[in-house]
Structure 1
Amino acid sequence: MTPYVLTVDAGVRDLRAADHLLHSLAAELALPEDAFGCTHLVRGERPRVALSLTLPSESLLRTAQERLAAGGHEVAPGIPDAVGRAVLYPGASALTGTLTIADVLSRSAITRVTVLGSRDQPAPDTVLLTGDHVRPVWQGGELVLTAMPAVGGTLVPFEVPDPTPCCADH
């Protein structure tokens, strides 16, 4: 796929809202299954979460740019950085429930799974409890899912859908 990429800056300040916006935009724009939608943390004077869309054709890119700009979104060509957190990607909808690492790699655009605290790749038959929330990140041109050990020798994605805010008990 020749990438046609744009950045959307909608002034979103948290990942949950950015995920929701990406899903809404994908539905509104009728994005195909092979499109990618990522979040990017923007630091500096105005911290926020920017979105990037990687689309399969120039005509879809032009249509998306026009419709997003007409909807009041700030749109720019390219991506904000090379380490986006993927929310929309080929096969994302198939990564629900309990899967093996082999399933994850064969059903989606994820090319590698790493485990926190381990230098070794997990075995293909290792079980991943997805929690229906799988957010890989781009690392060196690969879409990589970071997982962590869980009960009974299983794995879970490092990112959980509803994290406890820091200092929530204070």
Structure 2
Amino acid sequence: MGKSPHLIRLDRASGRREIVANHWLRVAEASDDAVPPHTLLPLSEWLARRDELLERTDVGVWFKPDDEPESLGDDARRLSVIAVDFPAFTDGRGFSIGRLLRERYGYAGELRAVGDVFKDTMLYLRRCGFDAFEVRIDKDVEDAAKGLDDFDEFYQNGVDQPLPLFRRRSA
């Protein structure tokens, strides 16, 4: 599967962002050998090797659109990186996975969007709790980062803003 050379990382507290080199390798499946540092394993592989990998902070998990966050459960809190694959921009299941990981399972580490990630999806991904974005290789990473600035006020609540506008105004 490989990796995109660049990653947009967002500091959720300050809103600052930076474009950094991507040091994590996402693999389709691991061998029975030792898992190298900075590897993102498919959820199924993680579950099969959970006991061996649980204490490692240099191994992460990536979700396919049909994976269920419930199968990772509270283990999510122990991981430093979780990636969610968006194979096509028309597949919105990853948005739900992101929200579930943040809101139901209390995941506080880096939540990374991978796959068909580009400027038009960035803001919506942020609203669902994503704070790192592996932009498609055929898209300009600097231009994609501008997508995070498309709007500065929202009617609806989101992971990044728990109260809807009418509650914020009445407060």
**What interval of TM-score do these two structures reach, taking the shorter chain for normalisation?**
under 0.3
Q: Which has the higher helix share?
A: 2
Return the index of the structure with the highest Cα Rg: 1
Q: Which has the higher strand share?
A: 1
TM-score normalized with structure 2 length: 0.25
